[in-house]
Amino acid sequence: MSIITIDGPAGAGKSTVSKELARRLGFTYLDTGAMYRAAAWFARSRGIDCRDSKAVSSICPDLDIHFEDQRIHVNGKDVSHLIRTQEMDALSSAISRIPELREQLTRIQREMGRKGNLVAEGRDMGTVVFPDADFKFFLMASAEERAMRRKIQLDSSGEKVLYENILLQIKARDRADANRSVAPLRPAPDAEIIDSTGLDVDDVIGIMLAKIKGK
């Protein structure tokens, strides 16, 4: 019935590592960033400004977000691809500052955690959502390395964005995520911090598995 949390800034390699760790352990993978993105997509589809806390709070009771075979659905619509755009990067960051929305998503996430054997990836998994998790990791990498990884990802999906602009955006998002008043991005006191700069996915997973199996 283990819960493993993996938090950290955008582009530190959390998704690839979390997915692969879950696969190797036979655990369920929970991508909570996708939930914030899906909420932002839903708000926008209703013409709601993601910074307007009153308007966003009003849609919280209607939000039905769930996963089916690793695909994310919001109120019956599969938005798995629609949430992976630059626009949704910005809107999800804005909507994630609204406490009522965080409470709603935290409730859904804990519900998923009840079944156990979960690798939960996000920003506040070890600090807020699963403070009693069995293993907590905080994955980071230099802003430059994260910008380069994101550039390669965007290039391969056909989006042409300058490296310098990506770097600026990453630094701005780090600041926003770390300085917001609710659930700011920071490692839980009992999290193991892993700097993935210069490491590949297997290296990082090796560090995590050593910790998990050593206990």
Stretch that binds ligand DC, among 91-99, 139-147, 163-171, 196-204 (CB under 6 A): 91-99
By beta-carbon proximity to ligand DC, the closer residue of 186 and 211 is 186
Residue of 33, 50, 101, 139 that binds ligand DC (CB under 6 A): 33
Cβ at position 214, least distance to ligand DC in Å: 27
- Total residues contacting ligand DC (rule CB under 6 A)? 13
DSSP strand pairing (71-74 vs 65-68) = antiparallel
Q: Is 38 in the site for ligand DC (CB under 6 A)?
A: no
- Give the chain's length: 215
d(CA 32, CA 37): 9
By beta-carbon proximity to ligand DC, the closer residue of 33 and 113 is 33
Residue of 5, 119, 123, 170 that binds ligand DC (CB under 6 A): 123
d(CA 172, CA 126): 23
Identify residue 189 by its one-letter amino acid code: P
Q: What is the DSSP letter of 174?
A: H
Cβ at position 215, least distance to ligand DC in Å: 24
Q: Is 136 in the site for ligand DC (CB under 6 A)?
A: no
Residue of 5, 177, 188, 196 that binds ligand DC (CB under 6 A): 177
Half-sphere exposure of 140 (CA within 13 A, CB side): 11
Beta strands in the chain (DSSP E): 3-7, 28-31, 65-68, 71-74, 77-78, 118-122, 135-140, 192-195
Cα–chain center distance at 199: 20
Q: Is 122 in the site for ligand DC (CB under 6 A)?
A: yes
Binding site for ligand DC (CB under 6 A): 10, 32-33, 36-37, 92-93, 96, 122-124, 173, 177
